[in-house]
Structure 1
Amino acid sequence: MATDVVEAPSTPSQPPTHFGQTRHFYLAVDRLNFKMETLVDLLGMAGHRPSMPMVVCCSTRDELDAVCFAVSNLSYISLSCLYSDLAEAERALILEKFRQAMMRWNQNANDQSKDDSKIEKEEQKSHLIVVTDACLPLLAAGESPITARVLINYELPSKKETYMRRMATCLATDGIVINMVVGGEVVTLKSIEESSNLVIAEMPIHIFEMF
Structure 2
Amino acid sequence: MAIDAADSPSSPSQSLAHSIGQSSHFYIAVDRIDYKMLTFVELLEEVGRRSGLPMVVCCNSRDELDAVCYTVSSLPYISLSSLYSDLGESDRAQILDTFRYATIKWNQGTVQSTGGEDVEEELKSHMVVVTDACLPIASSESPVPARVLINYELPLKKDVYMRRMAACLAPDGIVINMVVGGEVVTLKSIEEACNLIIAELPIQVSEIL
TM-score scaled by structure 2?
A: 0.88
Superposed displacement of residue 118, structure 1? 5.7
Superposed displacement of residue 156, structure 1? 0.2
Q: Percent of pairs identical after alignment? A: 65
Spell out, residue by residue over 1:191-210, the C-alpha distance to the aligned partner (whole angstroms, 9 max, x if none): 00001100000001122333
Q: Provide the rounded CA distance (Å) in 2 between the counterparts of 1:184 and 1:3.
A: 17
Q: Provide the rounded CA distance (Å) in 2 between the counterparts of 1:184 and 1:165.
A: 23
- Name the amino acid aligned to 2:164: R
Spell out, residue by residue over 1:147-188, the C-alpha distance to the aligned partner (whole angstroms, 9 max, x if none): 000000000000000000000000001000000000000000
Matched-pair contact (CA < 8 Å) for 1:2–1:34? no
Aligned length: 194
SS of 2:22's equivalent in the other structure is: coil
Show the counterpart of 1:136.
135
- Name the amino acid aligned to 1:145: P
Show the counterpart of 1:186.
184
Alignment of 1:37-56 (within 5 A): 37-56=38-57
SS of 1:192's equivalent in the other structure is: helix
Q: Which runs of no fewer than 5 residues in structure 2 stay unpaired?
A: 6-16
Matched-pair contact (CA < 8 Å) for 2:27–2:198? yes
Superposed displacement of residue 4, structure 1? 4.8
Matched-pair contact (CA < 8 Å) for 2:113–2:122? no
Q: Provide the rounded CA distance (Å) in 2 between the counterparts of 1:135 and 1:168.
A: 13
Matched-pair contact (CA < 8 Å) for 2:2–2:42? no
Superposed displacement of residue 47, structure 1? 2.7
TM-score scaled by structure 1?
A: 0.87
Indicate the RMSD between aligned Cα atoms, in angstroms.
Answer: 1.7
Superposed displacement of residue 3, structure 1? 4.2
Alignment of 1:1-211 (within 5 A): 1-4=1-4, 18=18, 19-108=20-109, 120-140=119-139, 142-211=140-209
Superposed displacement of residue 107, structure 1? 1.9
Q: Provide the rounded CA distance (Å) in 1 between the counterparts of 2:40 and 2:88.
A: 28
